[in-house]
Amino acid sequence: MDEDTANTGDDSSVGGNASSTRTDEPTPADADGLTDTEPTEFTSTDATSADDTDVDVDPENYGRDRSTTDVDLDGMVFDDETDDSKGLFDDLLSGEPIFENKEVLRPSYTPHELPHRNDQINQMATILVSALRGETPSNILIYGKTGTGKTASAKFVSQELESTSQKYDVPCEVEYINCEVTDTQYRVLAQLANKFIETNQDRIASDLERYRDLRSTASDDPAALDRSAFADLDDLDDRIATLEADADEMEEVPMTGWPTDRVYSTFFDAVDYRERVVVIMLDEIDKLVEKSGDDTLYNLSRMNSELDNSRISIMGISNDLKFTDFLDPRVKSSLGEEEIVFPPYDANQLRDILQHRADIAFKADALTDDVIPLCAAFAAQEHGDARRALDLLRTAGELAERSQAEIVGEKHVRQAQDKIELDRVVEVVRTLPTQSKIVLFAVILLEKNGVHNINTGEVFNIYKRLCEEIDADVLTQRRVTDLISELDMLGIVNAVVVSKGRYGRTKEMGLSVPVEETEAVLLSDSRLGDIENAQPFVQARFDN
Ligand code: ADP
Ligand code: MG
């Protein structure tokens, strides 16, 4: 990806603002490309940059050299000719930029090198090479926790497979589907059907073009047919007519509305339209099974026995090691013909991965020596998640940039870790079910009133009051205890069971997340937001 795209990317933070500043002095950030992206308009700020030579200035109004003194206004506004009035973005753009190409640190970037994944990549290639020999590769299941490089490796292998198949002109195609997005049988089959219809149509269009050319040459010079597969012009005309009819017949599947078996048979016909080996990559396959069961996999895995011309092979990728427990045994054995495990990265491996990316992403010497090891160490604690490591590094760079530091240091990594952790908490809390939110709110109210070692009974009492306040169902204390355990597992509260001697046992807990931010997220929920002034009635409970 080039610098251009990097600067106009989706990011709204510092780097992404370069285009807003294009009327000012050129800066490193807008040096490339941006200056020719829009016609120069004259706004009042252009007066401050009248020495931009590439600006086609109307001499009557704006072409004044501001060093001349014949215009009073100039003399007033620019009494010091080196004074460039500072705009909103000037400070942010001054100083050396830290990033060379920030896109390289985003999840959407596919690296060309994947250190520490050679074994897995070779295993995949060894299985998939059959496709290039016209044989059907075994189905593959890939497992590993998030951020262990599954998607990146699979995409890398699929690019290599397709480019090699083009090189040797063997009919092999790879289709990648992310089942977190495409999460029902209908959508998976429709997406596949439409992709194959598209490749079929492209193929038909290019064949037709060739045959029509041949047709026109041959009508003048029948000898042209001698070198072709066609006996005579009629034969050629038949072929052209058949292709035209095929092209007309292929109807795209709408995104909803057809019965599933029609979608399936459309997909089936589209794949079988010509001879080829097709590898279907189903990424996040566990999400598909969780959401819509294993019908899709069942249907796909038994297709080969019915296809005449083509063969399909399935590569499933799962973050959940246990997801095959939910599969029909036939699907399970068919899908798991080959299994490849992606183990978590350790801190040293994460360092290598980060170092490779940092070399392209940052300006030379933009990082102190401890930045990469620290990012790697933090991410190693997060089950060896390379995505987390890259996020940390990028966020650290952004925070450094925002504070106008010259160079990214350990401090920025720690700030980045806090920021990412807080973002995670906010997201988890925001998506909690209402009942859990009420329980959590009760804990927060107690904590804000200085209660330490909060016990379940105390939480339950406040919880009941809150439920009455917003007309929510009141769960039993037992259920509330369960919800507290869930909050504990999510790392939002920290609960321990304590023995009260002959009074039995109780849970005591405290909040593990920042009070203010968490409370704000809870109150942004429309139902909890209705709670007005919770403070007094909590207070009242302590007073009496
Ligand atoms: P998964 O699919 O297992 O959740 P990804 O393949 O999406 O993980 O990897 C997460 C991020 O880490 C991506 O940005 C990816 O490019 C990067 N990454 C993972 N493994 C490597 C590696 N070995 N080398 C370079 N980058 C990697
Ligand atoms: Mg993935």
User: Rounded distance, CA 480 to CA 454, Å?
Assistant: 14
pLDDT value, residue 533 = 64
pLDDT value, residue 13 = 39
Q: What does the pLDDT look like over 162-191, one tens digit per residue?
A: 999 999 999 999 999 999 999 999 999 999
Q: Which residue has the CA at smallest separation from atom 6 of ligand 1? A: 149
Q: Which residue has the CA at smallest separation from atom 25 of ligand 1? A: 114
- Distance from the alpha carbon of residue 153 to the mean position of ligand 1, in angstroms: 8
**Both tokens assigned to 372:** 């990469």
- Distance from the alpha carbon of residue 152 to the mean position of ligand 1, in angstroms: 5
Confidence grade of residue 527 (pLDDT, cut at 50, 70, 90)? confident
DSSP secondary structure letters along 118-181: HHHHHHHHHHHHHHHTTSPPPPEEEEE-TTSSHHHHHHHHHHHHHHHHHHTT--EEEEEEETTT
Q: What does the pLDDT look like over 47-104, one tens digit per residue?
A: 434 343 343 444 444 433 444 444 444 444 444 445 567 777 776 666 668 899 999 9
The 10 Å Cβ neighbour count of residue 453 is: 12
Partners of 283 in the β-ladder = 178
pLDDT value, residue 151 = 95
Partners of 508 in the β-ladder = 455, 496
For residue 386, give the ligand 1 atom closest to its CA: 12
Q: Which of 188, 205, 199, 380 is nearest to 285 (CA)?
A: 188
Q: What does the pLDDT look like over 21-48, one tens digit per residue?
A: 333 333 333 334 333 333 433 334 434 3
User: Rounded distance, CA 276 to CA 272, Å?
Assistant: 8
User: Rounded distance, CA 162 to CA 23, Å?
Assistant: 45
Please name which ligand lies nearest the alpha carbon of 393.
1
pLDDT value, residue 207 = 95
The 10 Å Cβ neighbour count of residue 33 is: 15
Q: What does the pLDDT look like over 386-423, one tens digit per residue?
A: 999 999 999 999 999 999 888 999 999 999 999 998 99
Tell me the pairing of strands 172-178 and 276-283.
parallel
User: Rounded distance, CA 153 to CA 116, Å?
Assistant: 11
User: Rounded distance, CA 204 to CA 483, Å?
Assistant: 59
Residue type, 196: F
- Distance from the alpha carbon of residue 283 to the mean position of ligand 2, in angstroms: 7
Q: Is the pLDDT of residue 346 over 70?
A: yes
- Distance from the alpha carbon of residue 109 to the mean position of ligand 1, in angstroms: 9
Q: What is the 3-state secondary structure (H, E, C) of 216-248?
A: HHHHHCHHHHHHCCCCCHHHHHHHHHHHHHHHH
The CA–CA distances, whole Å, from 82 to 48, 49, 66, 128, 249 equal: 10, 11, 10, 65, 70
User: Rounded distance, CA 93 to CA 29, Å?
Assistant: 7
For residue 144, give the ligand 1 atom closest to its CA: 3
User: Rounded distance, CA 307 to CA 227, Å?
Assistant: 32
- Distance from the alpha carbon of residue 353 to the mean position of ligand 1, in angstroms: 9
**Both tokens assigned to 77:** 């506004």
Q: Does pTM top 0.85 for this prediction?
A: no
List all residues whose CB is within 6 A of at least one atom of ligand 1.
107, 111, 114-117, 144, 146-152, 353, 386-387, 390
Q: Is the pLDDT of residue 276 over 70?
A: yes
Q: What does the mean pLDDT of the chain come to?
A: 83
Average pLDDT over residues 113-122: 95
The phi, psi pair for 302, rounded to 5°, reads: -105, 10
pLDDT value, residue 20 = 39
pLDDT value, residue 503 = 76
**Both tokens assigned to 377:** 């160490």
Q: Which of 116, 178, 387 is the best mutation target for the ligand 1 pocket, counting ligand atoms within 8 Å of the beta carbon and taking the most?
A: 387
Confidence grade of residue 542 (pLDDT, cut at 50, 70, 90)? low
User: Rounded distance, CA 94 to CA 111, Å?
Assistant: 30
Contacting residues for 113 by C-beta, under 8 A, at least 6 apart: 356
Q: Which residue has the CA at smallest separation from atom 5 of ligand 1? A: 149
Average pLDDT over residues 417-439: 93
Confidence grade of residue 279 (pLDDT, cut at 50, 70, 90)? very high
Q: Which of 388, 384, 391, 405 is nearest to 361 (CA)?
A: 391
The 10 Å Cβ neighbour count of residue 188 is: 24
The phi, psi pair for 92, rounded to 5°, reads: -65, -30
The phi, psi pair for 362, rounded to 5°, reads: -110, 155
Average pLDDT over residues 350-354: 96
What percentage of the chain has pLDDT greater than the value 70?
81
User: Rounded distance, CA 167 to CA 162, Å?
Assistant: 9
Q: Is the pLDDT of residue 365 over 70?
A: yes
- Distance from the alpha carbon of residue 180 to the mean position of ligand 2, in angstroms: 10
